[in-house]
Amino acid sequence: MASSINLPEELIIEIMSWLSPESLIQFKCVGKYWYKLVTFLLNDPSFVVKHLRNQNDSNNIFFSPSIAVSCLRIYDTPVYTYKELFALISVPNSNQNDSVSEDMNLPIIPGEKDMSSQTISHCNGVVCVADYYHNIILSNPAMKNSRVLPEPGLMGRFVLQGVGFGYDSRNNDYKVVRFGRDQSIYPRAEVYSLNSDSWKEIGIDSGTDYFPSLHIDTYFNGAFYWLMSGPRFMIQYFDMSDEVFRDVTLPESLQTAKSQWMSLGVWNDSVALFFCPGEKGTPVTVDIWVMNEECVNGPDSWKKGLTIGPFEGIDCPLGFCNEEEFVMRSANFREVVCYYNVRTQNLRNIKVEGLDGIGCRALSYVKSLVSVQTRNEK
């Protein structure tokens, strides 16, 4: 392929690996050379992996940390109505007091009015949207494409309890796992493979008295994690490569402590539990517990990494958008989020333009070129 600019093609490809997906796709409109080059790169697995790695690199001059949060859109109609959607909120610089929001335009399951009754999970730029029946959609918002998954095998009287999504690095495959119960009291589970575009049932043994807490889950490093409620709190996770469920006990001190809020997330390359002790209406303190992957069921399986606060005027934690910035929802949830820098201990109230309200669900998000097509469709 011949370029109209005097640069080696290897250098052009290197430069393009640092661009955002939107900027990269715009090059397809420049001319035949650029159209062929970009089309080739989008279908080159090694380039997609390299591009994803560069998008996560904080040294990337185009890198802009962001966090996806549930938000409210209020409609001025004779009957008051609103919709819960998801938007990206950019992380402002230290000298900024406002932030820009960007609607993610995630697909809504047919028959649902918004995202409030749907589970949302994210991995490598792909978002999994699922309801509590059998409908699941994979979407890459940056690439503006999505696919509806085939109907799962467990349906009928099967009551869905949890859905997770993630990446199997061993087989270079993206997978969706769902579990619940049917007429028996024992749990059942199945996993979907994007490579094979099919479901298969797998084993699960989480006991009969444990259920996933609503919207308290996260994906990290090849596994999906849920906070399970029952006789005691515990973490259940699904290994995407081994296709097995495992349990992690929580610290004994958290089993009986009163909490305003609990959530799961990722901090410093580890799974983190955000625990807000006390009762509603009191100043918010956040204990950040970090899981030790090398010892998931011993006395050293968790370590309290940090305590921040107390904060006045905070409603709930949303999680880390990078290693230093912890995001919380303000009690004035219509327009304000709070950024707390754990290194400088500086707290900023940031006004977010374009939102009518901010919810309590959040996930870290990175834009990517990862395709939701199967191998046969590419």
CATH number for the domain that contains residue 120? 2.120.10.80
Residue 55 has pLDDT above 60, yes or no: yes
Tell whether pTM > 0.85: yes
Number of domains in the chain: 2
Examine residue 4 and state whether it is found in any structural domain, yes or no.
no
d(CA 299, CA 312): 34
Confidence at 60, pLDDT banded by 50, 70, 90: low
Q: How many CA within 13 A on the CB side of residue 255?
A: 9
Residues 6+ apart with CB under 8 A from 101: 71, 87, 88, 89, 90, 352, 353, 354, 355
Examine residue 108 and state whether it is found in any structural domain, yes or no.
yes
CB of 336 closer than 8 Å to CB of 325: no
Residue 177 has pLDDT above 90, yes or no: yes
CB of 70 closer than 8 Å to CB of 102: no
Question: Is 152 found in the same domain as 32?
Answer: no
Q: What is the pLDDT of residues 113-130, one digit of tens each?
A: 666 678 889 999 999 999
Mean pLDDT is lowest, of 38-47, 58-67, 135-144, 189-198, for: 58-67
Mean pLDDT across 24-36: 89
CB of 131 closer than 8 Å to CB of 155: no
Mean pLDDT across 38-49: 92
Question: Is 132 found in the same domain as 43?
Answer: no
Examine residue 1 and state whether it is found in any structural domain, yes or no.
no
Q: What is the pLDDT of residues 275-305, one digit of tens each?
A: 888 777 778 889 999 998 766 666 678 888 8
Q: First-to-last CA distance in the chain?
A: 22
CA separation (Å) from 306 to 27, 275, 283? 45, 11, 17
> What is the average pLDDT value for the chain, to the nearest integer?
83
d(CA 140, CA 42): 13
Question: Is 181 found in the same domain as 287?
Answer: yes
Examine residue 3 and state whether it is found in any structural domain, yes or no.
no
CA separation (Å) from 79 to 27, 109, 355? 45, 23, 20
d(CA 50, CA 46): 6
Mean pLDDT is lowest, of 90-99, 107-116, 263-272, 320-329, for: 90-99
Question: Is 159 found in the same domain as 138?
Answer: yes
Examine residue 374 and state whether it is found in any structural domain, yes or no.
no
Question: Is 277 found in the same domain as 162?
Answer: yes
Confidence at 103, pLDDT banded by 50, 70, 90: confident
Question: Is 22 found in the same domain as 139?
Answer: no
Mean pLDDT across 253-266: 80
Question: Is 212 found in the same domain as 144?
Answer: yes
Q: Which of 42-46, 66-70, 72-76, 157-161 has the highest mean pLDDT?
A: 42-46
Examine residue 272 and state whether it is found in any structural domain, yes or no.
yes
Q: What is the pLDDT of residues 135-152, one digit of tens each?
A: 999 999 989 899 999 999
Mean pLDDT is lowest, of 96-110, 172-186, 262-276, 341-355, for: 96-110
Mean pLDDT across 187-210: 88
As to burial, measured by CB atoms within 10 angstroms (0-12 exposed, 13-18 middle, 19+ buried), residue 215 is middle
CB of 90 closer than 8 Å to CB of 373: no
pLDDT value for 61: 64
Question: Is 355 found in the same domain as 235?
Answer: yes
Confidence at 67, pLDDT banded by 50, 70, 90: confident
Question: Is 133 found in the same domain as 49?
Answer: no
Mean pLDDT across 328-355: 77
Q: What is the pLDDT of residues 311-324, one digit of tens each?
A: 888 877 888 887 88
Q: Which domain, by its residues, includes 50?
A: 9-56
H or E element that contains 168 = strand 159-168
Question: Is 216 found in the same domain as 89?
Answer: yes
Mean pLDDT across 366-377: 82
Question: Is 177 found in the same domain as 29?
Answer: no
pLDDT value for 354: 64
Examine residue 270 and state whether it is found in any structural domain, yes or no.
yes
pLDDT value for 92: 61
pLDDT value for 112: 74
Q: How many CA within 13 A on the CB side of residue 109?
A: 19
Examine residue 223 and state whether it is found in any structural domain, yes or no.
yes
CB of 136 closer than 8 Å to CB of 163: yes
Residue 226 has pLDDT above 90, yes or no: yes
* Other beta carbons within 10 Å of 324: 16
Tokens of 61: 């001059």
pLDDT value for 148: 94
Question: Is 301 found in the same domain as 272?
Answer: yes
Residue 158 has pLDDT above 90, yes or no: no
Amino acid at 70: S
